[in-house]
Amino acid sequence: MQSKVNNQTNQLRWVILLLAIAVILPTVCLLWFMTQAVKNESLAIRQKLIDSYAGRAQEIFFKYPDGFINDQNNFSASVIYDQNDKIIYPVHSIQNTTVLSDALQKVWKLEYSDKNFDEAIKQYKSIADTSSTVEVIYECQTAIARCFVKQNKITEAIEEYRKLAYPDSNTINKNLPPAQIAPAGLMLAEMYSKVNHKDLPKELQKQLSDSTGLIIPTETRIFVLSRLIDLAKTNGLAETLKTEIQTAQKIIDSDSISLMATDYLEKHSDLKPFPQGVFRKIEGRQSVYGIHFKSSGRNRLELLTPEKMSQFWQKNADDFTDKLVFCRIYDDKGLQIAGDRTVEGELFSTLNLKNHFAGFKAELCLQAGVFKEAANRQMLIYIWVAAIVISLMLISSLLAGRAVLRQAKLNKLKNDFIATVTHELKTPLSSMRVLVDTLLEGRCQTKQQETEYLQLISKENIRLSKLIDNFLTFSRMERNKQAFDIAPASPVEIANNAAEAVQTKFEKANVRFSLNILKPLPMINADKDAMVTVLVNLLDNACKYSNDNKHIELNVFAENNSVCFAVKDNGIGLTRRQTKKIFDRFYQVDTSLSRQAEGAGLGLSIVKFIVDAHKGKIDVESKPDKGSIFKITLPIIKSQAGEM
């Protein structure tokens, strides 16, 4: 028997091991496949992105920029060379090489040292009237106007500055160069400003318009235009002269850029660092970008500010950038001119720009986490698929394992049942056979002894019949063919019949039995004989599992629209684990073949089957060595529920 149990245990272990392998091995393979698939998906996504965005970058960075130089509005200034590669614009200041005469120097002493302005004015006029040199006459007239200003004779100063700014065609002043006329016009405007002259707006408008076209030293033009703009703003004419001021400001900005560029260009007049048609950076007080063009034998550098260069390339960078990629643009000196410096990403390609931007480059980068995000999305799909597949495998394995365990449990129960049935049937049959053989052989000495033997045979027969009845009842339960004759029945009658059925047995076993019925009791719907069987089984179990000094109670009472039958004993009691299993088929607290209590473990399962068929409930309260209480609750007839 023990060998058979061991074989069953070993078989069960092998089955569980095979089921575990059937789950674990495919799961490991699936996870490995999922990991490799995610890696391949990431590589495929990366290559697709690189191919797609590399083509898009060439479209943006190679073709569109070529049209940039065709728009002259993009350029801020120019540097122009003559045929000998000498800078002719911007125009540099001409050093004044005129040597003042001794007479003129003496007059300067009267003006600056002696502050004898009236005498100085007379002598300046005398020198101007007798001189035929334009430069001397200009200096004298300027000095006369200056002296009037120092004497606060603004009207006289205005008259002198008007002669300088607008020389009469009959005078020698008409030959004054623009470089001298422009400052005189500025001084005239300043004099108008001092006295709030009515001609000030007209004068500012005229000079702002005329000065922009004067071929004068660039630094002089910047100074004159800047001062004229300040005068307009100071005198509240900024809005009136808005157009003229804007035009003049553009000239100032352009001239300033050109002047700053010449600081570098004068050291590289050969233009070798500037290939034709290609932007190159010009370092100076303010860096600019220049592009070299040659036409009509002259070289020209068109200048572009870093701000405009960055704006242009930033627009291109923005056109390229999206949630997956971005770029950074670098000039010919390696300085970043466009693109976000703070964004982190992975460089996947570098484009060397062409044509007018040869030497520039664009770095194409993937946004940080792009592949991880894409891979995570794909991994999430794989994880869900794997989770579903693994879950199905686990569920299938659990169901299979449950079926196997259930079958193993059934096999064990069947084996135990066969052993129990064999033992239970063999014992009364053996006893009956011995007694019958004794009677047949005539070995009974008295009539009383024969009667006792016959009573024993009858008792064993009853025991055997009861055992067989339980087996038949169980068989009908299994086939769901047990039929009950349910009708209104008296709980009192059921309890009394059950007590009568066990009375003789209890008297022989010296059981102190008490029947307590709390009347009145309502009627219940029940199969009277089946319920008597239930109580008899419970009372019989109470007797079997009680030691000496047996005390058993059957209490019947009404509770919560129900009738309760409670069988109480002072027997060996049950553990909590045993309490949960005692209604299972074939379950016995003592499974040894040498146990004292009779039975095949079917009594309580039959009890529960009958109670469930009556829509009742059975509860157990028990503690080891403290006894047990089996409580059956059956619903009363509904028509009587309101009466209670």
* Mean pLDDT to the nearest integer, 452-471: 68
* Mean pLDDT to the nearest integer, 65-74: 70
Q: Is the pLDDT of residue 480 over 70?
A: no
Residues 157, 293 within the same domain: no
What is the percent of the chain with per-residue pLDDT over 90, rounded to a whole number? Answer: 17
What residues does 517 pair with on adjacent strands?
556
Domain stop point among 190, 216, 242: 216
| Inside any domain, residue 284 | yes
Residues 210, 114 within the same domain: yes
* Mean pLDDT to the nearest integer, 219-246: 91
At 162, which CATH number? 1.25.40.10
Using 50, 70 and 90 to split pLDDT, how confident is the model at 556? very high
Alpha helical stretches, state H, 166-217: 178-195, 200-211
* Mean pLDDT to the nearest integer, 593-618: 72
At 617, which CATH number? 3.30.565.10
| Inside any domain, residue 167 | yes
Determine the pLDDT at residue 84: 76
Residues 552, 630 within the same domain: yes
Containing domain of residue 337, as a range?
69-90+278-370
Indicate the helix (H) or strand (E) that contains 632.
Answer: strand 627-635
| Inside any domain, residue 1 | no
| Inside any domain, residue 143 | yes
Q: Using CA atoms, how far apart are residues 417 and 426, in angstroms rounded to an integer? A: 14
Residues 317, 171 within the same domain: no
Matching residue, tokens 């036409």: 295
Looking at residue 509, its amino acid is: A
Which one of 110-114, 161-165, 167-171, 228-232 scores highest in mean pLDDT?
228-232
Q: What are the tens digits of pLDDT across the range 505-552?
A: 888 888 889 999 988 889 998 888 888 888 888 888 888 888 778 899
* Mean pLDDT to the nearest integer, 267-272: 66
| Inside any domain, residue 98 | no
Residues 588, 553 within the same domain: yes
Q: Using CA atoms, how far apart are residues 578 and 424, in angstroms rounded to an integer? A: 22
For 99-103, 181-185, 599-603, which range has the lowest pLDDT when averaged over its residues?
Answer: 599-603
Determine the pLDDT at residue 12: 60
* Mean pLDDT to the nearest integer, 327-348: 88
Domain count, the chain: 3
Question: DSSP assignment, residue 364?
Answer: E
Q: What are the tens digits of pLDDT across the range 352-402?
A: 988 888 889 999 888 877 666 665 666 677 677 767 867 776 777 677 667
In this structure, which long-range contacts are made by residues 292-301, counting pairs with CB atoms below 8 Å and at least 24 apart in sequence? 297/83, 298/80, 298/81, 298/82, 298/83, 299/80, 299/81, 299/85, 299/271, 300/78, 300/79, 300/80, 300/81, 301/78, 301/79, 301/80, 301/261, 301/265, 301/271, 301/274
* Mean pLDDT to the nearest integer, 589-607: 59
Residues 636, 488 within the same domain: yes
Specify the higher pLDDT residue, 209 or 387: 209
Report yes or no on whether pTM surpasses 0.75. Answer: no
598 in helix, strand or coil?
coil
Determine the pLDDT at residue 325: 87
Residues 85, 134 within the same domain: no
Report how far apart, in Å, the C-alpha atoms of 292 and of each of 91, 275, 431 are. 19, 6, 130
For 315-324, 341-350, 449-458, which range has the lowest pLDDT when averaged over its residues?
Answer: 449-458
| Inside any domain, residue 237 | no
Using 50, 70 and 90 to split pLDDT, how confident is the model at 119? very high
Residues 548, 636 within the same domain: yes
Q: Using CA atoms, how far apart are residues 267 and 272, in angstroms rounded to an integer? A: 11
